[in-house]
Chains A and B, each alone.
Chain A
Amino acid sequence: MKISTRLERYVVKALSQSLNVQMMERIVQRIIPRYSLHERSGFPENIPIPQQNAAWQIIGDVKRLGLFLKLIEVLIDVDKNGVMGRTIAIHFLPQILKEIEGLHYQYNDPYGLFIEDSSRKTKSWGILQEGKGYDFTFIKIDIVSNSKLVRIYTGQVIRKTYTDLKRIFKSIIEKRNGRVWNWEGDGGLGAFYLPNKNVHAALCGVEILQELFMYNLINCNLNENLEVRMAVHTGPSNYIFDTDSIHNDTLRRLENIETDYTNPNNLVLSRGVFSDLGGKLAKLFKPFKMDNGLFLYRYSLEWED
């Protein structure tokens, strides 16, 4: 993200005209623990740091660490909620938000986060940093009997059908702020990072199965139903731009749930995902035991006989 000098100046003004040096330091410590302005600026402990200098020092440090937007998120929070019961108005926030919108980021109020606006949908939401570890929720979709379908139908029919499935998968996932991390011939992987990621991933799975049901009824070009298996699991994972190359225990566990415990046209959640669901959503899932005695949770669309 390229930060303009004008934006930097607005943030410097916001810091220096709204907060004293001690408060600036305390606020920055929310994103950089043990941050010390004297240490960073080189001013001796017994000499007060001018507010402008302190603000410029902070800007330089957060930029270097890729935490510029995090600093603005903290400033918005301070403006909204104050600090330790004190109300603090942060000046120039409207101008700062406008500048940041120009960089195609939008402040998402319920999340309290900047994420890329609707004009861009990158795999990192515009905020993940290469090589760093985060907590994600993943959804895996796999086409049932892919090799058989490829053998029976012409390339054109298969391409059309699989493209349709990808469109359904992608649109439903992106609608809930998820991202498609990869799509291969017979399925794909979606990732969720923002708040409520478990709820969003589970809902996406339910909606994809239902949408696929409608697709099979009305639009499918195959002489049979297109069937999928889906699994959702949550856990830590590193992020790298080439998401196809990400391998870790969380993804291995997801694959294991999908291949060993998921029937066609079923969605299966791991316990970690299920435990985050609210009452109504949880009621859609039925528990079942794995070989090791632990529970997974299954959803499938069933009609009365």
Chain B
Amino acid sequence: MRILFCSEQLEKYKNFLTDGKKSSLPVEYYDYQELKKVLRKCNERMLIYLNLTDRNILGRAIDYLSRKENIFWAVIDSKGIYNDPSEFFHIGAVDYIDNSVNFKDGFSKRIRRVINYLKKYRNYNNTLQDYSDVKSNLLLPPTGWDKIRNGEEYKFFITYIELDGKEELEKQWGKSNLDRAVGTFKRYVGKVSKQFNGKIWIWSGFNGVVLFPFDGEKENAGIFGFRLYLFKNIFDVEESLFPKFVSFRTAMHLGSMIYEKSNKGHIISDTINSVFHLGKRFTQPGNFCITEDAYLYLPEVIKRYFIEIGEYENRTIFRLKRIKV
């Protein structure tokens, strides 16, 4: 979801939402006239904070936004002139901020609370896109990892991979042997992802996340997943320490996230959570599932090998056909 800040005095209030600190979410700034131009051009889901002190202009703006689809709006009362904020909520506001609010907790957390509120009480899920699917002015990384900076938000093909049968394997194997065997699988994932400019970002026990930077055009991640499954039998025979064929599930989504080089497992990202949920709760053992957002960027020839299998968290999900053994 795009987050917009609209004010009559942009320069003065530009950092109001972020309190001058660097925000992990991108905020776009417009005056009211520019905002209307933006709204005419696109139909994306937006959360717009209006900081308009003129009651007439604010009234017109609210009237205008209320008629638009996919728009959620909130009011910033930087001068404390509105006595009864609840009036805004009665006509559709989703947030109200006056000058007493401090942002020590960080703006991102507030936005997440708002989004949770929207998901729970408003028609959020049926609207167009969520904030991870933004085609906004987020940085689209070039394909090279060296250009990706820590703490910045980028678009990635986020790929969750998990070896199936954890409980069973833990019963049968000693810890050190199991660690070594899982290590061979991790190396296989690392080796194949490297061929497609991907990197294992997190790995913990039986599962991990591989990231592929997306430059807006060239897509490699889908082919990575395809290859990972196609050449699995070679891995099974030559490298794997498991006596049987390994089974693993993969979930892939295209979304935005803040890149932290040394992730210690404290993931604060709806996109990452959503990929984890897709992998853990929806994807069946041995399957490779991909959200529609990522599927759209697959090469056409690869798409033929995927079949639509339903929806999860309001996204259409596709599954790679299975290879017969």
Contacts and interface: CB of A to CB of B under 8 A. Distances in A.
Interface of A: 199, 203, 206-207, 210, 213-214, 217-218, 278-281, 283-284, 301-304
A203 B237 CA distance: 8
Given A283-B325, A284-B325, A303 B305 contact: yes
A207 B323 contact: no
Nearest to A220: B301
Given A214-B227, A217-B301, A278-B237, A304 B324 contact: yes
B237 A281 contact: yes
Contacts of A281: 237
Contact of B231 (A207, A218, A304): A207
Contacts of A203: 234, 237-238
A300 B198 CA distance: 29
A214 B302 CA distance: 10
Nearest to A300: B324
B321 interface: yes
Contacts of A207: 231, 234
A281 B238 CA distance: 9
Contact of A301 (B223, B234, B323): B323
A280 B321 contact: no
Contacts of A213: 230
Contact of B302 (A199, A210, A217, A302): A217
Contacts of B305: 303
Given A203-B238, A207-B231, 12 more contacts: A207-B234, A213-B230, A214-B226, A217-B299, A280-B237, A281-B237, A283-B325, A284-B233, A303-B305, A303-B322, A304-B322, A304-B323
B233 A206 contact: yes
Contacts of B236: 280
Contacts of A278: 237
A100 B301 CA distance: 50
Nearest to A213: B230
Top 3 closest pairs, chain A to chain B, by CB: A302-B324, A304-B322, A281-B237
Contact of B321 (A214, A279, A284, A303): A303
Contacts of A283: 245, 325
Contacts of B230: 210, 213-214, 301
A263 to B, nearest CB: 16
A199 B238 CA distance: 10
A44 B271 CA distance: 88
A218 B301 contact: yes
Interface string B8-34: 000000000000000000000000000
A219 to B, nearest CB: 10
A206 B324 contact: no
Contacts of A206: 233-234
A196 to B, nearest CB: 11
Looking at B223, B226, B234, the one whose CB has the most chain A CB atoms below 10 A away is: B234
Nearest to A279: B243
A284 B233 CA distance: 8
Interface in B199-254: 223, 226-227, 230-231, 233-234, 236-238, 243-245
Interface string B262-305: 00000000000000000000000000000000000001011001
B242 to A, nearest CB: 9
